[in-house]
Structure 1
Amino acid sequence: MSRDDARVPLLTQEELPEDYQYLFDEDVLGELNLFQSIGHVPRAMQAYMRYGTALWNAGDLSTRERELAILSVARAVRARYEWHQHVELGQKAGITIDELAAIARDDDCPFPEREQAIMRYASAVAAGTVTDPLFEAAVEVTDTETVVGLTMLAGHYLMTARVLSALAVPIDGGEFAGWIPE
C-alpha cells in the first residue's frame, strides 16, 4: 500500500495548524504516517499522543514487556502497521528474531512465565476474550495496577490498529517487515 492508497491525505508538518506543528518534530515522534493521517483532527492527535505516553509508564512493565504486549496485540488482530513499527522497537528492547517469530506463530513457550502471562493477557484484551484465569495469571506475576495499565495499553494499540485499518494508512518506509522478520 502506498501513500496514494491512504483514505485520507497524509499531512505534512506545515499543513497542521501552527499550534500543533511541534507534534511532528523529531523529538516528539516525527512524521509517522499514523500521525499524518490523524493530524486531520489535531486536538485529538495531541490527546492521543499524550495518552499513549501516559500508558507507556502505567504499571510495572519493562520496556521489553511493553513491546511484547504491543506485538502480541498486533499479531492477535493482524495489524501489519503496528507489527512493522514495533519489530524494530522490540529488538531495541531485547526481543530476538527467534522470539519475534515465536510471537508471530502465537507460541509463547520460549518466554518466561511473567512474559507469557503478559502476552496472553494482551492478546486476550485485543481479541475480547479475557477470562478470569487469564486476568488472575497476569495479576499473579505483576499486580493489579500493572494489569489495569496493561489492559489500557492493549486497548490503546487495538484502537490504533482499527484506526490504521479504517484509514488505510500505509506502512512507514513502504515495505512490510514481515510477520517473521529476517
Structure 2
Amino acid sequence: MSRQDARVPLLSREDLPEEFRYLFDEDVLGELNLFQSIGHVPRAMRAYMRYGTALWNAGDLSTRERELAILAVARTVRARYEWHQHVELGREAGVTTEELNAIARADDCPFSERERAIVRYASAVATGTVTDPMFEAAVEVTDVETVVGLTMLAGHYLMTARILDSLSVPIDDGEFAGWTLE
C-alpha cells in the first residue's frame, strides 16, 4: 500500500494550523503515517498523543511487558501497521525474534507466568473475551492498577488498529515486516 492508497491525504507539519505544528516536532512522531492521517483533526490528534503517552506509564508494566501487550493486540486483530511498528520497539525492549514469532503464532509458552498473563489478557481485551479467571490471573501477577492500565493500553491499540484500517494508512517504510520474522 502506498501513500496514494491512503483514504485521506497524509499531512505534513505545514498542513496543520500553526498552533498544532509542534505535535509533529515531538519525538519525530509527526513523521509517522498514523499522525499524518489523524492530523486532519488536530485537537483529537493532540488528545490521542497525550492519552497514548499517559498509558505507556500506567501501572507497573516494564517496557518489555508493554511491548508484548501491544504486539499481542496487533497479532490478535491482524493489525499489520501496529505489528510492523512494534516489532522493532519490542526488539529494543528485549523481545527476541523467537518470542516475536511465538506471539505471531499465538503461542505464549516462551514467556514467564507474568508475561503469559499479560499477553493473554491483552489479546482477550482486543477480542472482547476477558473472563473473570483471566482478569484474576492478571491481577495475581501484577495488581489492580496495572491491569486497569493494561486494559486501557490494549483498548487504545485496538482503537488505533481500527483507525489505521479504516483510513487505509500505509506502513511507514512501505515493506511489511511479516508475521514470521528471521
Once the two structures are superposed, the pairs formed by residues 22-171 of structure 1 within 5 Å of their partners are: 22-25=22-25, 27=27, 29-171=29-171
1:34-82 deviation digits (Å, cap 9, x = unpaired): 0000000000000000000000000000000000000000000000000
The Cα shift of 1:30 comes to: 3.3
Structure 1, unaligned runs of 5 or more: none
Tell me how far 1:31 sits from its aligned partner: 1.3
Contact 2:16 2:42 (8 Å CA) reproduced = yes
CA displacement at 1:181 relative to structure 2: 1.9
Shift of 1:26: 5.0
1:29 and 1:175 map into 2 onto residues whose CA distance is 19
Map of 2:2 onto structure 1: 2
Give the ranges of 4+ consecutive aligned residues of structure 1 lying more than 4 Å apart after TM superposition.
none
Q: Following TM superposition, by how much is the alpha carbon of 1:27 offset from its aligned partner in structure 2, in angstroms? A: 2.5
**Which residue is equivalent to 2:18?**
18
The letter for the 1-side match of 2:86 is H
**Distance in 2 (alpha carbons) for counterparts of 1:173 and 1:32:** 9
Q: Runs of 5+ in structure 2 lacking a partner?
A: none
| RMSD of aligned alpha carbons | 0.8
Matching residue's letter, 2:53: T
- Taking every aligned residue pair, what percent have the same amino acid on both sides? 84
Is contact 2:13-2:30 (8 Å) kept?
no
The residue identity in structure 2 corresponding to 1:77 is: V
Q: Given the two structures, how large is their TM-score scaled by the length of structure 1?
A: 0.98
Which one-letter code corresponds to 1:176 in the other structure? Answer: F
Secondary structure of the residue that 1:95 maps to in structure 2? coil
- In the aligned structure 1, how far is the partner of 2:56 from the partner of 2:42? 21
- 3-state SS of paired residue (2:29): coil
The alpha carbon displacement at 1:32 in A equals 0.3
Residue 78 of structure 2 aligns with an amino acid whose one-letter code is R
Aligned residues: 182
